[in-house]
Amino acid sequence: MTSYLGAIGTANPPHCIAQQHIADFMARALQFGDAEARRLRALYRVSGIAQRYSVLPDYGRPDGEYTFFPNTPGLEPFPSVGQRMAVYRREALPLALAAVADCRRQVPGVGLASITHLITVSCTGMYAPGLDIELVQALGLPAAVRRTCVNFMGCYAAVNALKLADDACRADPAARVLVVSVELCTLHFQKSAEDDHLVSNALFGDGAAACLVQAGPLPDGAPSLALAAFHCGLEPDGHADMAWHINDFGFEMTLSSYVPKLIQRGIGRLTEQLLATLPVERADIHHFAIHPGGRKILETIEQALDLTPDDNRFAYRVLRDYGNMSSATVLFVLRDVLAAATPADHGAPVLSFAFGPGLTLEAMLLEIAVSTERPAAAKRHRETLLLEDAAT
């Protein structure tokens, strides 16, 4: 029994902020002098990110016009975890609903009453009764829908959600799983001049993604991805290099400069182990959906697997337009892979990776399933991608 992922809907908050405007905010918040501010702006310029989205407008506003951070030198008193979680609780559900609505537009024939499982994913906020119950109520899902929450696992968490969805569909051919990932990373800005915090402040944005997983291709001619195989690897040497801790002033990300080297060291072995029991060779794979944890991570994977930037174009585009949205990001990349697929790609394998604390390396092999009839929403997104490719 093969399960299929498709109808990937996405959503972002209303505040789209240019990367250099965020750099200006950070320089002011950290009270940097001219030399430090120049180095910080250089870091933002080479990030590969043009803009990011946030539930907080402050990152794009001038001094004295903040609505969440205090309008004081050094932003003191700096917002507490409780204040940040109050914003998460207010903003997570509307963003999740927008992603679900985008997902449903792609498969108008799928009714909410047919959803048997709901899996929610987030590492940037938690509360109970939580987002899962709020989604059940807001969407009018059956109270008996089977709910699972994947929390605090970091950027690879959506892969774990897809594993759970795949297991549900293999166990019950009638299962239809709604997966919803919501990440409000920008709530957790850390006012610190440490290198790890400077880098994480330069990368993360807010976003949500929702998708369907079921046994068999999706209805309405929607393109989908067969879930062929999963494999997880660990690089224990990176235990302290990528980490996620709850501190007094938000959730604190550790992201050291050694992470790309660890990924480069382990990615080849991970790929071999994923493909070891499959009738697929690395040379057969020409489609990739790699989590854009950062520009350097994408470049080191290209070196390790002999990929070109064009092979990685969907990851670079998502990084450029949204930044790293933690667990939701790889679903944005998979959305673009599906949107660009043509009937000629039917049956083609897709290699996907995501990374997170541990250091955890998650790998998926998927297979494109595209019919000659594509829903209007998928056609429009494909046309947008083609126009962007032509412009660049």
Q: How confident is the model at residue 262 (pLDDT cuts 50, 70, 90)?
A: confident
* pLDDT at site 210: 98
Cβ 263 vs Cβ 301: under 8 Å: yes
Residue 225 dihedral angles phi and psi, to the nearest 5°: -130, 120
pLDDT in tens, 278-328: 899 999 999 999 999 999 999 999 999 999 999 999 999 999 999 999 999
Average confidence (pLDDT) over 193-217: 93
* Residues contacting residue 325 through CB under 8 Å, at least 6 positions apart: 183, 185, 204, 205, 206, 207, 332
Check whether 272 has a pLDDT greater than 60: yes
Check whether 379 has a pLDDT greater than 70: no
- Please give the Cα distance from 48 to 367 (Å, whole number): 29
* pLDDT at site 270: 87
The three-class DSSP label of residue 9 is: strand
Check whether 384 has a pLDDT greater than 90: no
Average confidence (pLDDT) over 123-132: 96
Average confidence (pLDDT) over 244-268: 76
Cβ 8 vs Cβ 333: under 8 Å: no
Q: Which of 55-59, 142-146, 358-362 bottoms out in mean pLDDT, i.e. has the lowest? A: 358-362
Kindly report the average pLDDT of the chain as a whole number: 91
**Active-site residue identified among 103, 123, 155, 185:** 155
Measured CA distances, 87 to 15, 107, 125, 138, 250 (Å):
14, 31, 9, 19, 12
Joined together, the tokens standing for residue 350 give 């897709």
Which amino acid is located at 184 in the chain? L
Check whether 374 has a pLDDT greater than 70: no
* pLDDT at site 359: 84
* pLDDT at site 98: 98
Give me the residues paired with residue 4 across strands: 214, 226
pTM exceeding the 0.85 threshold for the entire prediction? yes
- Please give the Cα distance from 381 to 211 (Å, whole number): 16
With CA atoms as reference, report the closest residue to 119 among 169, 81, 76.
169
* pLDDT at site 99: 98
Tell the residue number behind the tokens 């990152």, with chain if given.
Answer: 59
Q: How confident is the model at residue 246 (pLDDT cuts 50, 70, 90)?
A: confident
pLDDT in tens, 69-118: 999 988 999 999 999 999 999 999 999 999 999 999 999 999 999 999 99
The three-class DSSP label of residue 244 is: strand
- Please give the Cα distance from 261 to 296 (Å, whole number): 9
Q: How many CB atoms lie within 10 A of CB 326?
A: 33
With CA atoms as reference, report the closest residue to 241 among 324, 307, 297, 292.
297
Cβ 59 vs Cβ 19: under 8 Å: no
Greatest extent of the chain over all pairs of C-alpha atoms, in Å: 62
**Annotation says 211 is catalytic:** no
* pLDDT at site 245: 75
